[in-house]
Structure 1
Amino acid sequence: MLADGQIGHDISRWLIANYRNDLALIVTTSDNEIAALARDVGAGSLIFRSSAQVAAFITGEGLSFDLGLLAWWPKIIRSPLLSLPRRGFVNTHPSLLPYGRGKHYNFWSIVDRVPFGVSLHMVDEGVDTGDIVAQIAIPYDWEDTGGTLYQKATEAMLNLLRETYPKLRELDFETHPQDHNAGTFHRASELESASAIDLDRAYVALDLLNLLRARTFPGYPACTFSAGDDVYEVRIEIKRKS
Protein backbone atom coordinates (compact mmCIF):
# COMPACT_ATOMS: atom_id res chain seq x y z
CA MET A 1 0.00 0.00 0.00
CA LEU A 2 1.17 3.50 -0.89
CA ALA A 3 -0.59 5.92 1.44
CA ASP A 4 -0.59 9.65 2.14
CA GLY A 5 -2.71 12.40 3.68
CA GLN A 6 -5.56 12.12 6.14
CA ILE A 7 -7.47 9.56 4.10
CA GLY A 8 -4.34 7.49 3.59
CA HIS A 9 -3.85 7.59 7.36
CA ASP A 10 -7.47 6.61 8.06
CA ILE A 11 -7.36 3.75 5.55
CA SER A 12 -4.03 2.54 6.96
CA ARG A 13 -5.37 2.59 10.50
CA TRP A 14 -8.51 0.71 9.46
CA LEU A 15 -6.59 -1.95 7.54
CA ILE A 16 -4.10 -2.41 10.37
CA ALA A 17 -6.94 -2.80 12.87
CA ASN A 18 -8.89 -5.28 10.76
CA TYR A 19 -6.55 -6.90 8.21
CA ARG A 20 -3.06 -6.48 9.60
CA ASN A 21 -1.71 -9.67 8.00
CA ASP A 22 -2.71 -8.46 4.53
CA LEU A 23 -0.17 -5.65 4.66
CA ALA A 24 3.28 -6.71 3.51
CA LEU A 25 4.61 -3.20 2.85
CA ILE A 26 3.41 0.35 3.52
CA VAL A 27 5.03 3.09 1.45
CA THR A 28 4.80 6.73 2.57
CA THR A 29 5.92 10.10 1.22
CA SER A 30 7.92 10.92 4.37
CA ASP A 31 8.57 9.73 7.92
CA ASN A 32 5.05 10.71 8.91
CA GLU A 33 2.15 9.40 11.02
CA ILE A 34 1.42 6.62 8.53
CA ALA A 35 5.03 5.42 8.73
CA ALA A 36 4.74 5.53 12.53
CA LEU A 37 1.59 3.38 12.36
CA ALA A 38 3.46 0.80 10.30
CA ARG A 39 6.39 0.72 12.74
CA ASP A 40 4.07 0.40 15.73
CA VAL A 41 2.63 -2.86 14.39
CA GLY A 42 5.85 -4.18 12.88
CA ALA A 43 4.68 -3.80 9.28
CA GLY A 44 7.27 -3.27 6.58
CA SER A 45 7.58 0.38 5.61
CA LEU A 46 9.49 2.47 3.09
CA ILE A 47 9.73 6.16 2.20
CA PHE A 48 9.03 6.75 -1.49
CA ARG A 49 11.75 8.24 -3.65
CA SER A 50 10.72 6.83 -7.05
CA SER A 51 8.79 3.95 -8.57
CA ALA A 52 12.09 2.33 -9.53
CA GLN A 53 13.39 2.62 -5.95
CA VAL A 54 10.30 0.93 -4.49
CA ALA A 55 10.39 -1.80 -7.16
CA ALA A 56 14.08 -2.47 -6.44
CA PHE A 57 13.36 -2.71 -2.70
CA ILE A 58 10.51 -5.17 -3.26
CA THR A 59 12.63 -7.32 -5.55
CA GLY A 60 15.61 -7.19 -3.20
CA GLU A 61 13.49 -8.24 -0.22
CA GLY A 62 11.91 -11.09 -2.16
CA LEU A 63 8.39 -9.76 -1.56
CA SER A 64 5.40 -10.69 -3.70
CA PHE A 65 1.95 -9.16 -3.85
CA ASP A 66 -1.49 -10.13 -5.05
CA LEU A 67 -2.73 -6.53 -5.07
CA GLY A 68 -1.44 -3.00 -4.58
CA LEU A 69 -3.46 -0.13 -3.10
CA LEU A 70 -2.97 3.60 -3.58
CA ALA A 71 -4.60 5.34 -0.60
CA TRP A 72 -4.83 9.06 -1.45
CA TRP A 73 -1.43 8.72 -3.10
CA PRO A 74 -0.28 12.03 -4.69
CA LYS A 75 2.32 10.68 -7.14
CA ILE A 76 2.05 8.81 -10.43
CA ILE A 77 3.57 5.33 -10.22
CA ARG A 78 5.22 3.74 -13.22
CA SER A 79 6.70 0.45 -14.37
CA PRO A 80 8.32 -1.72 -13.17
CA LEU A 81 6.47 -1.02 -9.90
CA LEU A 82 3.12 -0.83 -11.65
CA SER A 83 3.32 -4.40 -12.90
CA LEU A 84 4.60 -6.10 -9.72
CA PRO A 85 1.24 -7.00 -8.03
CA ARG A 86 -0.37 -9.97 -9.74
CA ARG A 87 -3.76 -8.23 -10.00
CA GLY A 88 -2.36 -4.72 -10.35
CA PHE A 89 -2.93 -1.60 -8.29
CA VAL A 90 -6.27 -0.18 -7.15
CA ASN A 91 -6.44 3.59 -6.69
CA THR A 92 -8.69 5.65 -4.44
CA HIS A 93 -9.82 8.63 -6.51
CA PRO A 94 -12.11 11.37 -5.15
CA SER A 95 -14.36 11.90 -8.16
CA LEU A 96 -17.06 10.01 -10.02
CA LEU A 97 -14.87 8.83 -12.88
CA PRO A 98 -14.67 9.45 -15.75
CA TYR A 99 -15.62 12.91 -14.46
CA GLY A 100 -12.96 14.71 -12.46
CA ARG A 101 -9.85 12.98 -13.75
CA GLY A 102 -6.64 14.70 -12.73
CA LYS A 103 -6.37 17.37 -10.04
CA HIS A 104 -8.69 19.58 -7.97
CA TYR A 105 -11.75 17.37 -8.48
CA ASN A 106 -13.83 19.29 -5.90
CA PHE A 107 -13.29 22.61 -7.70
CA TRP A 108 -13.83 21.36 -11.23
CA SER A 109 -16.90 19.26 -10.47
CA ILE A 110 -18.75 22.44 -9.51
CA VAL A 111 -17.29 24.61 -12.29
CA ASP A 112 -17.88 21.98 -14.99
CA ARG A 113 -21.31 21.12 -13.54
CA VAL A 114 -20.67 17.37 -13.68
CA PRO A 115 -21.62 14.49 -11.35
CA PHE A 116 -19.51 14.05 -8.23
CA GLY A 117 -18.51 11.07 -6.09
CA VAL A 118 -15.63 8.76 -5.25
CA SER A 119 -14.16 5.84 -7.17
CA LEU A 120 -11.91 2.83 -6.83
CA HIS A 121 -10.23 2.06 -10.14
CA MET A 122 -7.41 0.02 -11.57
CA VAL A 123 -4.18 1.87 -12.24
CA ASP A 124 -2.79 1.92 -15.76
CA GLU A 125 -0.24 4.08 -17.57
CA GLY A 126 -2.72 6.96 -17.93
CA VAL A 127 -3.95 9.48 -15.37
CA ASP A 128 -7.06 8.09 -13.63
CA THR A 129 -8.00 6.18 -16.79
CA GLY A 130 -8.09 2.59 -15.48
CA ASP A 131 -11.15 0.37 -15.26
CA ILE A 132 -13.67 1.08 -12.48
CA VAL A 133 -13.85 -1.29 -9.51
CA ALA A 134 -16.50 0.51 -7.41
CA GLN A 135 -18.07 3.95 -7.05
CA ILE A 136 -20.33 6.02 -4.83
CA ALA A 137 -22.19 9.03 -6.26
CA ILE A 138 -22.39 12.08 -3.98
CA PRO A 139 -25.25 14.53 -4.62
CA TYR A 140 -24.49 18.22 -4.18
CA ASP A 141 -26.49 21.45 -4.39
CA TRP A 142 -26.16 25.23 -4.25
CA GLU A 143 -25.11 25.23 -0.59
CA ASP A 144 -22.04 23.11 -1.36
CA THR A 145 -18.57 24.55 -1.90
CA GLY A 146 -15.19 23.17 -2.82
CA GLY A 147 -14.64 22.68 0.90
CA THR A 148 -17.83 20.73 1.55
CA LEU A 149 -17.25 18.50 -1.46
CA TYR A 150 -13.78 17.70 -0.15
CA GLN A 151 -15.22 16.71 3.24
CA LYS A 152 -17.94 14.60 1.64
CA ALA A 153 -15.37 12.87 -0.55
CA THR A 154 -13.08 11.99 2.35
CA GLU A 155 -15.94 10.39 4.29
CA ALA A 156 -17.31 8.54 1.26
CA MET A 157 -13.86 7.29 0.20
CA LEU A 158 -13.25 5.54 3.50
CA ASN A 159 -16.75 4.03 3.42
CA LEU A 160 -16.28 2.79 -0.15
CA LEU A 161 -12.96 1.16 0.71
CA ARG A 162 -14.47 -0.53 3.76
CA GLU A 163 -17.36 -1.89 1.70
CA THR A 164 -15.20 -3.08 -1.18
CA TYR A 165 -12.13 -4.40 0.60
CA PRO A 166 -13.49 -7.88 1.47
CA LYS A 167 -13.84 -8.53 -2.28
CA LEU A 168 -10.49 -6.95 -3.04
CA ARG A 169 -8.62 -9.13 -0.58
CA GLU A 170 -10.21 -12.26 -2.08
CA LEU A 171 -9.43 -10.97 -5.60
CA ASP A 172 -13.14 -11.49 -6.23
CA PHE A 173 -14.04 -8.25 -7.97
CA GLU A 174 -15.15 -7.22 -11.42
CA THR A 175 -14.23 -4.08 -13.33
CA HIS A 176 -15.71 -2.10 -16.18
CA PRO A 177 -14.05 0.41 -18.51
CA GLN A 178 -14.54 4.14 -18.24
CA ASP A 179 -16.32 6.11 -20.94
CA HIS A 180 -13.62 8.69 -21.59
CA ASN A 181 -15.74 10.45 -24.19
CA ALA A 182 -18.08 11.53 -21.39
CA GLY A 183 -15.45 12.50 -18.83
CA THR A 184 -13.48 15.58 -17.81
CA PHE A 185 -9.79 16.12 -17.08
CA HIS A 186 -7.84 19.00 -15.55
CA ARG A 187 -4.21 19.60 -14.65
CA ALA A 188 -3.01 21.20 -11.41
CA SER A 189 -1.66 24.17 -13.38
CA GLU A 190 -5.17 25.16 -14.50
CA LEU A 191 -6.52 26.09 -11.06
CA GLU A 192 -5.05 29.56 -10.50
CA SER A 193 -5.86 30.99 -13.92
CA ALA A 194 -9.40 29.58 -13.71
CA SER A 195 -9.85 31.25 -10.29
CA ALA A 196 -8.94 34.78 -11.45
CA ILE A 197 -11.98 37.03 -11.97
CA ASP A 198 -11.76 39.74 -14.62
CA LEU A 199 -13.78 42.76 -13.48
CA ASP A 200 -14.19 43.93 -17.08
CA ARG A 201 -15.54 40.63 -18.35
CA ALA A 202 -19.21 39.72 -18.68
CA TYR A 203 -20.09 36.51 -16.81
CA VAL A 204 -23.16 34.34 -16.84
CA ALA A 205 -24.40 34.54 -13.24
CA LEU A 206 -24.58 30.76 -12.95
CA ASP A 207 -20.94 30.39 -13.97
CA LEU A 208 -19.70 33.13 -11.66
CA LEU A 209 -21.55 31.79 -8.62
CA ASN A 210 -20.25 28.31 -9.34
CA LEU A 211 -16.70 29.63 -9.67
CA LEU A 212 -16.89 31.49 -6.36
CA ARG A 213 -18.31 28.60 -4.38
CA ALA A 214 -16.00 26.06 -6.02
CA ARG A 215 -12.98 27.97 -4.70
CA THR A 216 -14.54 28.58 -1.25
CA PHE A 217 -12.58 26.29 1.06
CA PRO A 218 -11.73 27.55 4.58
CA GLY A 219 -7.99 27.69 5.12
CA TYR A 220 -7.18 27.72 1.41
CA PRO A 221 -6.89 30.50 -1.22
CA ALA A 222 -10.07 31.72 -2.86
CA CYS A 223 -10.92 33.36 -6.16
CA THR A 224 -9.06 36.62 -6.75
CA PHE A 225 -9.56 39.88 -8.62
CA SER A 226 -7.39 42.94 -9.13
CA ALA A 227 -8.45 46.58 -8.74
CA GLY A 228 -5.63 48.91 -9.60
CA ASP A 229 -2.54 47.75 -7.72
CA ASP A 230 -4.57 45.81 -5.15
CA VAL A 231 -5.45 42.11 -5.27
CA TYR A 232 -8.50 40.83 -3.39
CA GLU A 233 -9.81 37.40 -2.45
CA VAL A 234 -13.51 36.65 -2.60
CA ARG A 235 -15.50 33.80 -1.07
CA ILE A 236 -19.19 33.12 -1.03
CA GLU A 237 -21.84 31.61 1.24
CA ILE A 238 -25.13 30.39 -0.18
CA LYS A 239 -27.93 29.36 2.15
CA ARG A 240 -31.28 27.88 1.26
CA LYS A 241 -34.02 30.40 2.11
CA SER A 242 -37.05 28.16 1.67
Structure 2
Amino acid sequence: MIKLLLFADGHVGCEVARWLIAHYRSDIALVVTTTDNDIAASARNAQLRTVAFESSEQVLRFAKSEGLSFDLGLLAWWPKLIRQPLLSLARRGFINTHPSLLPYGRGKHYNFWSIVDRVPFGVSLHMVDEGVDSGDIVAQLEIPYGWEDTGGSLYRKAIDAMLTLVQEAYPRLRNLDFETRHQDLAAGTFHRGSELEPASSIPLDQTCEVRDLLNRLRARTFPGYPACTFTDGDDVYEVRVDIKRKPR
Protein backbone atom coordinates (compact mmCIF):
# COMPACT_ATOMS: atom_id res chain seq x y z
CA MET A 1 0.00 0.00 0.00
CA ILE A 2 1.31 3.45 -0.94
CA LYS A 3 2.23 5.97 1.74
CA LEU A 4 1.21 9.39 0.45
CA LEU A 5 2.49 12.72 1.74
CA LEU A 6 -0.10 15.34 0.82
CA PHE A 7 0.59 19.08 0.87
CA ALA A 8 -2.72 20.88 0.24
CA ASP A 9 -3.98 24.45 0.16
CA GLY A 10 -6.73 26.57 -1.36
CA HIS A 11 -9.92 25.40 -3.06
CA VAL A 12 -8.17 22.82 -5.22
CA GLY A 13 -6.20 21.46 -2.28
CA CYS A 14 -9.35 21.18 -0.23
CA GLU A 15 -11.24 19.34 -2.97
CA VAL A 16 -8.32 17.01 -3.67
CA ALA A 17 -7.91 16.25 0.04
CA ARG A 18 -11.61 15.54 0.50
CA TRP A 19 -11.67 13.27 -2.57
CA LEU A 20 -8.59 11.36 -1.47
CA ILE A 21 -9.99 10.97 2.06
CA ALA A 22 -13.30 9.71 0.67
CA HIS A 23 -11.78 7.21 -1.77
CA TYR A 24 -8.19 6.47 -0.70
CA ARG A 25 -7.98 7.37 2.97
CA SER A 26 -5.66 4.48 3.80
CA ASP A 27 -3.06 5.82 1.33
CA ILE A 28 -2.55 9.09 3.23
CA ALA A 29 0.28 9.01 5.73
CA LEU A 30 0.42 12.75 6.46
CA VAL A 31 -1.43 15.92 5.44
CA VAL A 32 0.49 19.21 5.50
CA THR A 33 -1.46 22.49 5.39
CA THR A 34 -0.51 26.17 5.46
CA THR A 35 -2.58 26.85 8.58
CA ASP A 36 -4.98 25.06 10.90
CA ASN A 37 -7.74 25.32 8.31
CA ASP A 38 -10.63 23.32 6.84
CA ILE A 39 -8.24 20.89 5.14
CA ALA A 40 -6.56 20.16 8.46
CA ALA A 41 -9.98 19.71 10.09
CA SER A 42 -11.04 17.23 7.39
CA ALA A 43 -7.82 15.27 7.94
CA ARG A 44 -8.30 15.18 11.71
CA ASN A 45 -11.92 14.11 11.31
CA ALA A 46 -10.64 11.21 9.21
CA GLN A 47 -8.13 10.39 11.98
CA LEU A 48 -5.18 11.28 9.78
CA ARG A 49 -1.95 12.88 10.92
CA THR A 50 -1.75 16.56 9.99
CA VAL A 51 0.70 19.39 10.56
CA ALA A 52 0.61 23.11 9.72
CA PHE A 53 3.70 24.06 7.71
CA GLU A 54 6.22 26.33 9.40
CA SER A 55 9.42 25.25 7.64
CA SER A 56 10.88 22.32 5.75
CA GLU A 57 12.94 21.44 8.81
CA GLN A 58 9.79 21.34 10.95
CA VAL A 59 8.08 18.86 8.57
CA LEU A 60 11.22 16.72 8.48
CA ARG A 61 11.40 16.68 12.27
CA PHE A 62 7.71 15.80 12.57
CA ALA A 63 8.01 12.90 10.12
CA LYS A 64 11.05 11.57 11.97
CA SER A 65 9.44 11.90 15.40
CA GLU A 66 6.35 10.02 14.18
CA GLY A 67 8.41 7.34 12.42
CA LEU A 68 6.84 8.18 9.07
CA SER A 69 8.14 7.21 5.64
CA PHE A 70 6.58 8.11 2.28
CA ASP A 71 6.46 6.64 -1.21
CA LEU A 72 5.11 9.72 -3.01
CA GLY A 73 4.45 13.38 -2.30
CA LEU A 74 1.60 15.36 -3.88
CA LEU A 75 1.44 19.16 -3.90
CA ALA A 76 -2.23 20.12 -4.34
CA TRP A 77 -2.23 23.87 -5.07
CA TRP A 78 0.67 24.28 -2.65
CA PRO A 79 1.88 27.93 -2.63
CA LYS A 80 5.47 27.32 -1.51
CA LEU A 81 8.52 25.97 -3.35
CA ILE A 82 9.71 22.57 -2.13
CA ARG A 83 13.50 22.17 -1.99
CA GLN A 84 16.00 19.66 -0.72
CA PRO A 85 16.19 17.95 1.72
CA LEU A 86 12.38 17.93 1.83
CA LEU A 87 12.24 16.72 -1.78
CA SER A 88 13.97 13.51 -0.73
CA LEU A 89 11.41 12.75 1.97
CA ALA A 90 9.24 10.81 -0.51
CA ARG A 91 10.91 7.82 -2.17
CA ARG A 92 9.47 8.50 -5.64
CA GLY A 93 9.63 12.27 -5.25
CA PHE A 94 6.90 14.90 -5.35
CA ILE A 95 4.25 15.59 -7.98
CA ASN A 96 2.94 19.13 -8.36
CA THR A 97 -0.42 20.39 -9.64
CA HIS A 98 0.26 23.27 -12.03
CA PRO A 99 -2.54 25.19 -13.82
CA SER A 100 -1.00 25.51 -17.27
CA LEU A 101 -0.21 23.22 -20.19
CA LEU A 102 3.50 22.87 -19.50
CA PRO A 103 6.00 23.82 -20.81
CA TYR A 104 3.73 26.81 -21.55
CA GLY A 105 2.80 29.02 -18.61
CA ARG A 106 5.60 28.17 -16.22
CA GLY A 107 5.89 30.54 -13.27
CA LYS A 108 3.24 33.04 -12.24
CA HIS A 109 -0.09 34.29 -13.63
CA TYR A 110 -0.53 31.44 -16.10
CA ASN A 111 -4.10 32.50 -16.97
CA PHE A 112 -2.99 36.00 -18.00
CA TRP A 113 0.08 34.97 -19.95
CA SER A 114 -1.53 32.08 -21.81
CA ILE A 115 -3.84 34.59 -23.50
CA VAL A 116 -1.21 37.29 -24.02
CA ASP A 117 1.39 34.85 -25.37
CA ARG A 118 -1.22 33.06 -27.52
CA VAL A 119 -0.17 29.62 -26.29
CA PRO A 120 -2.16 26.47 -25.46
CA PHE A 121 -3.74 26.28 -22.01
CA GLY A 122 -4.54 23.45 -19.64
CA VAL A 123 -3.51 21.79 -16.38
CA SER A 124 -0.52 19.58 -15.63
CA LEU A 125 0.86 17.15 -13.11
CA HIS A 126 4.65 17.23 -13.10
CA MET A 127 7.55 15.98 -11.04
CA VAL A 128 9.08 18.56 -8.73
CA ASP A 129 12.76 19.36 -9.23
CA GLU A 130 15.00 22.22 -8.15
CA GLY A 131 13.66 24.47 -10.93
CA VAL A 132 10.34 26.29 -11.24
CA ASP A 133 7.63 24.12 -12.85
CA SER A 134 10.39 22.44 -14.86
CA GLY A 135 10.09 18.78 -13.84
CA ASP A 136 9.03 15.92 -16.09
CA ILE A 137 5.35 15.76 -17.11
CA VAL A 138 3.20 13.07 -15.48
CA ALA A 139 -0.25 13.89 -16.93
CA GLN A 140 -2.05 16.78 -18.64
CA LEU A 141 -5.46 17.99 -19.78
CA GLU A 142 -5.70 20.65 -22.47
CA ILE A 143 -8.39 23.31 -22.06
CA PRO A 144 -9.55 24.91 -25.32
CA TYR A 145 -10.26 28.64 -25.15
CA GLY A 146 -11.40 31.41 -27.47
CA TRP A 147 -12.22 35.10 -27.78
CA GLU A 148 -14.95 35.01 -25.14
CA ASP A 149 -12.53 33.74 -22.50
CA THR A 150 -10.81 36.00 -19.98
CA GLY A 151 -8.19 35.61 -17.31
CA GLY A 152 -11.04 34.93 -14.92
CA SER A 153 -12.69 32.24 -17.03
CA LEU A 154 -9.37 30.43 -17.59
CA TYR A 155 -8.73 30.44 -13.85
CA ARG A 156 -12.15 28.89 -13.17
CA LYS A 157 -11.68 26.29 -15.91
CA ALA A 158 -8.27 25.36 -14.49
CA ILE A 159 -9.75 24.90 -11.01
CA ASP A 160 -12.33 22.42 -12.32
CA ALA A 161 -9.94 20.62 -14.67
CA MET A 162 -7.26 20.14 -12.01
CA LEU A 163 -9.50 18.06 -9.78
CA THR A 164 -10.54 15.99 -12.82
CA LEU A 165 -6.89 15.43 -13.76
CA VAL A 166 -5.95 14.28 -10.25
CA GLN A 167 -8.93 11.93 -10.13
CA GLU A 168 -8.02 10.43 -13.51
CA ALA A 169 -4.31 10.08 -12.77
CA TYR A 170 -4.30 8.97 -9.14
CA PRO A 171 -5.03 5.26 -9.69
CA ARG A 172 -1.76 5.09 -11.67
CA LEU A 173 0.11 7.26 -9.19
CA ARG A 174 -0.81 5.13 -6.20
CA ASN A 175 0.54 2.03 -7.95
CA LEU A 176 3.79 3.89 -8.66
CA ASP A 177 3.70 2.66 -12.26
CA PHE A 178 3.33 6.04 -13.96
CA GLU A 179 5.55 7.19 -16.81
CA THR A 180 6.91 10.70 -17.29
CA ARG A 181 8.15 12.73 -20.24
CA HIS A 182 10.71 15.48 -20.38
CA GLN A 183 9.66 19.12 -20.79
CA ASP A 184 11.08 21.05 -23.72
CA LEU A 185 11.65 24.23 -21.72
CA ALA A 186 13.10 26.09 -24.70
CA ALA A 187 9.78 25.71 -26.54
CA GLY A 188 7.66 26.90 -23.59
CA THR A 189 7.06 30.18 -21.78
CA PHE A 190 7.99 31.44 -18.33
CA HIS A 191 6.97 34.61 -16.46
CA ARG A 192 7.75 36.06 -13.05
CA GLY A 193 5.19 37.68 -10.80
CA SER A 194 6.85 41.07 -11.26
CA GLU A 195 5.97 41.07 -14.96
CA LEU A 196 2.21 41.30 -14.52
CA GLU A 197 1.78 44.97 -13.65
CA PRO A 198 4.06 46.39 -16.39
CA ALA A 199 2.26 44.22 -18.95
CA SER A 200 -1.11 45.49 -17.67
CA SER A 201 -0.24 49.18 -18.15
CA ILE A 202 -1.32 50.56 -21.54
CA PRO A 203 0.37 53.79 -22.71
CA LEU A 204 -2.18 55.83 -24.70
CA ASP A 205 0.39 56.70 -27.36
CA GLN A 206 1.62 53.14 -27.81
CA THR A 207 1.24 51.55 -31.23
CA CYS A 208 0.22 47.89 -31.16
CA GLU A 209 -1.82 45.29 -32.98
CA VAL A 210 -5.50 45.36 -32.07
CA ARG A 211 -5.36 41.61 -31.45
CA ASP A 212 -2.60 42.07 -28.88
CA LEU A 213 -4.46 44.91 -27.15
CA LEU A 214 -7.68 42.91 -26.91
CA ASN A 215 -5.76 39.93 -25.59
CA ARG A 216 -4.17 42.01 -22.83
CA LEU A 217 -7.52 43.51 -21.87
CA ARG A 218 -9.35 40.20 -21.67
CA ALA A 219 -6.42 38.45 -20.02
CA ARG A 220 -6.61 40.95 -17.13
CA THR A 221 -10.42 40.86 -16.98
CA PHE A 222 -11.12 38.95 -13.78
CA PRO A 223 -14.05 40.14 -11.61
CA GLY A 224 -12.87 41.08 -8.14
CA TYR A 225 -9.28 41.68 -9.26
CA PRO A 226 -7.48 44.70 -10.79
CA ALA A 227 -7.70 45.21 -14.54
CA CYS A 228 -5.46 46.81 -17.15
CA THR A 229 -4.85 50.52 -16.60
CA PHE A 230 -4.01 53.62 -18.57
CA THR A 231 -3.10 57.13 -17.46
CA ASP A 232 -4.45 60.38 -18.91
CA GLY A 233 -3.00 63.46 -17.25
CA ASP A 234 -3.26 62.99 -13.50
CA ASP A 235 -5.98 60.36 -13.73
CA VAL A 236 -5.55 56.59 -13.84
CA TYR A 237 -8.31 54.45 -15.37
CA GLU A 238 -9.05 50.73 -15.25
CA VAL A 239 -10.33 49.06 -18.40
CA ARG A 240 -11.92 45.66 -18.91
CA VAL A 241 -13.44 44.04 -21.95
CA ASP A 242 -16.51 41.88 -22.56
CA ILE A 243 -16.38 39.93 -25.82
CA LYS A 244 -19.42 37.97 -26.99
CA ARG A 245 -19.92 36.07 -30.21
CA LYS A 246 -22.80 37.48 -32.27
CA PRO A 247 -25.51 35.01 -33.34
CA ARG A 248 -25.20 33.99 -36.98
TM-score by length of 1: 0.98
Aligned-pair distance for 1:60?
Answer: 2.1
Q: What is the alpha-carbon distance in structure 1 between the residues aligned to residue 61 and residue 188 of structure 2?
A: 35
Paired residues of 1:52 and 1:79 also in contact (CA < 8 A): no
What is the aligned partner in structure 1 of residue 181 from structure 2? 176
Runs of 4+ in 1 over 2 A off after TM superposition: none
The correspondence for 2:200, drawn from 190, 195, 203, is 195
Aligned-pair distance for 1:52?
Answer: 2.1
What is the aligned partner in structure 1 of residue 220 from structure 2? 215
Deviations 1:37-82 (A, max 9, x none): 1111111111111222212211222100000000001110111111
* Unaligned 5+ runs, structure 1: none
Residue 165 of structure 2 is aligned to residue 160 of structure 1: yes
Aligned-pair distance for 1:189?
Answer: 1.1
Aligned-pair distance for 1:149?
Answer: 0.4
Letter of the 1:128 counterpart: D
Identity across aligned pairs (percent)? Answer: 72
Paired residues of 1:121 and 1:130 also in contact (CA < 8 A): yes
Paired residues of 1:111 and 1:207 also in contact (CA < 8 A): yes
Aligned length: 242
Within 5 Å, give how 1:90-169 maps onto structure 2: 90-169=95-174
Q: What is the alpha-carbon distance in structure 2 between the residues aligned to residue 55 and residue 229 of structure 1?
A: 53
Secondary structure, aligned partner of 1:90: strand
* Unaligned 5+ runs, structure 2: 1-5
Aligned-pair distance for 1:140?
Answer: 0.5
Q: What is the alpha-carbon distance in structure 2 between the residues aligned to residue 83 and residue 225 of structure 1?
A: 47
Q: What is the alpha-carbon distance in structure 1 between the residues aligned to residue 12 and residue 78 of structure 2?
A: 9
Aligned-pair distance for 1:227?
Answer: 1.4
Pick which of 27-36 and 155-164 moved more: 27-36
Q: What is the alpha-carbon distance in structure 2 between the residues aligned to residue 228 and residue 39 of structure 1?
A: 57
Within 5 Å, give how 1:21-100 maps onto structure 2: 21-100=26-105
Secondary structure, aligned partner of 1:181: helix
Pick which of 108-117 and 25-34 moved more: 25-34
Residue 235 of structure 2 is aligned to residue 224 of structure 1: no
Paired residues of 1:132 and 1:176 also in contact (CA < 8 A): yes
Aligned-pair distance for 1:4?
Answer: 0.6
Q: What is the alpha-carbon distance in structure 2 between the residues aligned to residue 62 and residue 25 of structure 1?
A: 11
Q: What is the alpha-carbon distance in structure 1 between the residues aligned to residue 102 and residue 56 of structure 2?
A: 25
Q: What is the alpha-carbon distance in structure 2 between the residues aligned to residue 189 and residue 28 of structure 1?
A: 26
Aligned-pair distance for 1:89?
Answer: 0.3
Aligned-pair distance for 1:35?
Answer: 1.1
Pick which of 47-56 and 17-26 moved more: 47-56
Letter of the 2:150 counterpart: T
Secondary structure, aligned partner of 1:24: strand
Deviations 1:57-114 (A, max 9, x none): 1122210000000000111011111111010001000000000001110000000000
Q: What is the alpha-carbon distance in structure 2 between the residues aligned to residue 52 and residue 76 of structure 1?
A: 14
Q: What is the alpha-carbon distance in structure 2 between the residues aligned to residue 208 and residue 116 of structure 1?
A: 19
Q: What is the alpha-carbon distance in structure 1 between the residues aligned to residue 201 and residue 60 of structure 2?
A: 42
Q: What is the alpha-carbon distance in structure 1 between the residues aligned to residue 234 and residue 60 of structure 2?
A: 51
Letter of the 1:93 counterpart: H
Deviations 1:146-172 (A, max 9, x none): 011011111111001000000100101
Letter of the 1:123 counterpart: V
